[in-house]
């Protein structure tokens, strides 16, 4: 059962990754060039998923959109983890006023709407993929810090940390050799949940025109384009919506499966 | 000069200054084995943690603990880290939680060698396997490559013993090392501890609530009650001529086999009623 979950997640994520990689070399049609004579075609041959309001092949645009999804997910989750996990570990291991300062600062970022941050960044630097990455990444730092801190507190209270200290392991050594491996599963789960959230956030931001600008196709701006033809060509909105849903589901399943796999206590005895 | 010298040690916790240890003094010569017995909350574990410098930051420590000539009370973390694992090591009570679940047992045992001797992993592994063999683990190669959850409680406790002894410390503190084990395994682990301590010549501070267990390992015993030492002496004297009423109670309950059939078994309360309960 658990294994099936992991495999389903892997398959869905692999599908996104393969699609993105293939789109670098080949797409069925040009994903950008406008073809006025072929507007709003239904699914069929040669346009498998039909064409949009500019006469561009939807399948080709979906494939290119997968690239943005992966890039934004990886960079924003990476950014959030690189800053959030050490901050959370520092707060959890040190305690006292350090803990207080770090976590309250996290609360401030948490309370600040990510959308507002994105609007702010987009109005200063112009809407681009990078502003979306930074906005989503910064907004996700507190979540990582909280997860890392909670895990660290639990690990620091354990006998094996006391045992490690009684062997003369330094604070830094305990953080690296004992805390980090023990919180890795929860951070991994947070990363995959964060990845799924980042996909949703990126779609929302590009739907609002605050992320990747046209003509580069993203799943979010495809939804926006589809909106005006919702009654004439309802299927056009279905494809990017389905892509978003499946990608989010895939990363969630992957995270759940990974947690079980990474935990040696749940692994079978060789 | 004695290896460990504790003078008027006092430990209290928190803002209310709840006293856990109230003026404890004892000393331990190199190679000597000293048992500390007492009930839960009598301050035996706190005393042991004070010797390791492992008390939490909110503990107030007064008095003096000298270990191998250096003062522990007030020593900074890096100074303590040099002593821990090198001069003194500790065996913990709970074998299920005292090993890191994410680390292979062999690597955990080798950790102390890496820290204090900068040992390379190749030669360190040879020593780890030799040590695991010495504490009586069958198939030490397999144990070294196993994760803690793949071992039984007795195997883990012997791995912890190996961890505490591999760097040949001068003093090994055992905090109720066999309490979590069943009686058969307990006897086995105690026999191994006795054997390994003999081989290495390390001193031992052995904490237990069980006089019978202490008598298997130690020759000298301290009896702690309510943060104070109420009696001390050789195991033999304690068994034959206990002075403090609390000790008399402990001795009586450790010799339940002497009770007449049909009679009510003795309890500590029959001898000493001043002990706080709760």
pLDDT digits (tens, 9 = 90+) for B78-119: 888 888 988 999 998 888 889 999 899 999 999 888 888 877
DSSP string, B13-79: ETTTTEEEEEEEEEEE-TT-EEEEE--TTSSHHHHHHHHHT---TTEEEEEEEEETTEE-TT--HHH
> Distance, in angstroms, between B85 CA and closest chain A CA?
4
Inter-chain CB proximity A169 and B81 less than 8 Å:
yes
Cα angle, residue B144 at apex, residues B139 and B148 outer, rounded to 5°: 105
For residue range A219-230, list pLDDT tens digits in order.
Answer: 998 998 888 888
Paired strand residues for B62: B10
Cα separation, A180 vs A86, whole angstroms: 9
Kindly tell me if the per-residue pLDDT of A1 is higher than 70.
no
Residue A223 main-chain phi, psi, to 5 deg: -60, -40
Q: Is residue A174 part of a domain?
A: yes
Cα separation, A258 vs A187, whole angstroms: 11
Inter-chain CB proximity A264 and B163 less than 8 Å:
no
Three-class SS state of B92 = coil
Residue B171 main-chain phi, psi, to 5 deg: -135, 130
Average pLDDT over residues B150-164: 90
Cα separation, A200 vs A269, whole angstroms: 39
Query: Quick one: pLDDT band at residue A191, thresholds 50, 70, 90?
Result: very high
- Helix (H) / strand (E) element for B206: namely strand B203-208
The reported pLDDT for the residue numbered A148 is 95
Q: How many CB pairs under 8 A join A and B?
A: 80
**Number of structural domains in chain A:** 1
Inter-chain CB proximity A164 and B78 less than 8 Å:
no
Q: Is residue A118 part of a domain?
A: yes
Give the residue among A108, A196, A94, A213 at the shortest CA–CA distance from A148. Answer: A94
Paired strand residues for B228: B225
First and final C-alpha spacing in chain A: 20
Give the residue among A47, A26, A30 at the shortest CA–CA distance from A38. Answer: A47
> Distance, in angstroms, between A265 CA and closest chain B CA?
6
Kindly tell me if the per-residue pLDDT of B278 is higher than 50.
no
**Residue A234 · residue A175 · CB < 8 Å:** no
Q: Which domain holds residue A241?
A: 2-28+52-266
CATH number of the domain enclosing A238: 1.10.3720.10
Enumerate the residues of chain A whose CB falls inside 8 A of the CB of residue B163. 163, 167
**Two tokens, residue A185:** 């599963």
Average pLDDT over residues A89-117: 91
Three-class SS state of B234 = strand
Give the residue among A246, A196, A255 at the shortest CA–CA distance from A12. Answer: A246
Q: Is residue A231 part of a domain?
A: yes
Using CB atoms, which residue from B82, B84, B149 is nearest to A166?
Answer: B84
Average pLDDT over residues B168-197: 87
Kindly tell me if the per-residue pLDDT of B274 is higher than 70.
no
Using CB atoms, which residue from A160, A168, A264 is nearest to B84?
Answer: A168
Q: Is residue A35 part of a domain?
A: no
**Residue A135 · residue A77 · CB < 8 Å:** no
Q: Is residue A258 part of a domain?
A: yes
Cα separation, B189 vs B15, whole angstroms: 40
Average pLDDT over residues B13-28: 88
The b/e string for A197-219 (b: 16+ C-beta within 10 A; e otherwise) is bbbebbbbbbbbebbbeeebbbb
Residue B13 main-chain phi, psi, to 5 deg: -120, 140
Inter-chain CB proximity B77 and A171 less than 8 Å:
yes
Burial of A230 (0-12, 13-18, 19+ CB in 10 A): exposed
For residue range B139-150, list pLDDT tens digits in order.
Answer: 999 999 999 999
**Two tokens, residue B276:** 């706080």
Enumerate the residues of chain B whose CB falls inside 8 A of the CB of residue A264. 101-102, 147, 149
Q: Is residue A41 part of a domain?
A: no
Cα separation, B237 vs B231, whole angstroms: 11
Residues of A with CB under 8 A from a CB of B: 158-160, 162-171, 173, 177-178, 181-182, 184, 264-265, 267, 269
Kindly report whether the global pTM for this prediction surpasses the value 0.90: no
Kindly tell me if the per-residue pLDDT of A256 is higher than 90.
no
Cα separation, B192 vs B134, whole angstroms: 8
Q: Is residue A44 part of a domain?
A: no
Which of B100, B144, B155 is best to mutate for the A interface (most A CBs within 10 A)? B100
Enumerate the residues of chain B whose CB falls inside 8 A of the CB of residue A182. 100-102
Kindly tell me if the per-residue pLDDT of A55 is higher than 90.
no
Mean residue pLDDT of chain A comes to 88
> Distance, in angstroms, between B246 CA and closest chain A CA?
31
The reported pLDDT for the residue numbered B6 is 92
Enumerate the residues of chain B whose CB falls inside 8 A of the CB of residue A180. none
Give the residue among B194, B203, B177 at the shortest CA–CA distance from B67. Answer: B203
Number of H helices, E strands in chain B: 10, 10
Paired strand residues for A235: none
Three-class SS state of A56 = coil
The DSSP secondary-structure symbol of B84 reads: B
Q: Is residue A97 part of a domain?
A: yes
Cα separation, B271 vs B250, whole angstroms: 9
DSSP string, A65-105: HHHHHHHHHHHHHHHHHHHHHHHHHHHHHH-HHHHHHHHHH
Alpha-carbon distances of A210 from A119, A140, A213, A219, B163, rounded to whole Å? 7, 18, 8, 13, 57
The reported pLDDT for the residue numbered A264 is 59
Percent helix / strand / coil, chain A, rounded to 5? 75, 0, 25
């Amino acid at each position: 059962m658990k294994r099936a979950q992991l495999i389903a997640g892997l398959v869905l994520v692999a599908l996104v990754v393969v699609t993105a990689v293939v789109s670098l070399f080949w797409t069925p049609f040009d994903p950008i060039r406008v073809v006025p004579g072929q507007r709003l075609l239904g699914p069929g041959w040669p346009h498998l998923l039909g064409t949009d309001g500019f006469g561009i092949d939807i399948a080709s645009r979906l494939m290119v959109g997968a690239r943005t999804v992966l890039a934004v997910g990886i960079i924003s989750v990476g950014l959030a983890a690189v800053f959030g996990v050490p901050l959370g570990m520092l707060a959890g291991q040190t305690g006292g006023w350090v803990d207080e300062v770090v976590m309250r600062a996290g609360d401030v970022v948490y309370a600040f709407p990510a959308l507002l941050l994105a609007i702010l960044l987009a109005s200063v630097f112009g809407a681009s993929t990078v502003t979306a990455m930074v906005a989503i990444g910064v907004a996700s730092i507190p979540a990582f810090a909280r997860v890392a801190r909670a895990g660290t507190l639990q690990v620091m209270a354990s006998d094996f940390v006391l045992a490690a200290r009684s062997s003369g392991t330094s604070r830094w050594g305990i953080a690296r050799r004992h805390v980090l491996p023990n919180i890795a599963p929860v951070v991994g789960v947070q990363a995959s949940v964060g990845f799924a959230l980042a996909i949703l956030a990126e779609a929302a931001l590009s739907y609002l025109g605050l992320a990747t600008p046209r003509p580069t196709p993203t799943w979010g701006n495809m939804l926006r384009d589809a909106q005006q033809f919702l009654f004439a060509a309802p299927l056009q909105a279905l494809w990017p919506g389905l892509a978003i849903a499946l990608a989010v589901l895939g990363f969630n399943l992957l995270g759940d499966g990974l947690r079980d796999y990474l935990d040696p206590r749940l692994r079978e005895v060789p | 000069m004695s290896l460990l010298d504790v003078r008027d040690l006092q430990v209290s916790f928190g803002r209310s200054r709840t006293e856990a240890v109230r003026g404890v003094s004892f000393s331990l010569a190199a190679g000597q084995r000293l048992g500390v017995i007492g009930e839960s909350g009598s301050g035996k574990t706190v005393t042991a943690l004070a010797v390791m410098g492992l008390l939490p930051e909110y503990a107030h420590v007064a008095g003096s603990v000298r270990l191998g000539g250096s003062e522990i009370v007030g020593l900074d973390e890096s100074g303590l880290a040099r002593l821990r694992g090198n001069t003194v090591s500790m065996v913990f009570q709970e074998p299920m939680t005292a090993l890191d679940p994410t680390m292979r047992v062999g690597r955990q045992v080798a950790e102390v060698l890496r820290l204090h001797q900068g040992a390379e992993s190749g030669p360190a592994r040879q020593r780890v396997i030799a040590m695991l063999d010495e504490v009586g683990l069958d198939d030490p190669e397999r144990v070294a490559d196993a994760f803690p959850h793949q071992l039984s409680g007795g195997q883990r406790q012997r791995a912890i013993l190996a961890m505490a002894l591999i760097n040949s410390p001068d003093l090994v503190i055992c905090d109720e090392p066999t309490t979590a084990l069943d009686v058969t395994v307990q006897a086995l682990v105690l026999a191994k501890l006795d054997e390994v301590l003999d081989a290495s010549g390390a001193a031992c501070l052995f904490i237990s609530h069980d006089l019978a267990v202490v008598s298997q390992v130690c020759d000298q015993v301290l009896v702690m009650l309510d943060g104070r030492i109420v009696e001390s002496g050789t195991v033999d004297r304690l068994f034959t001529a206990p002075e403090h009423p609390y000790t008399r109670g402990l001795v009586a309950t450790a010799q339940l086999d002497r009770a007449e059939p049909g009679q009510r078994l003795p309890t500590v309360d029959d001898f000493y009623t001043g002990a706080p309960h709760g």
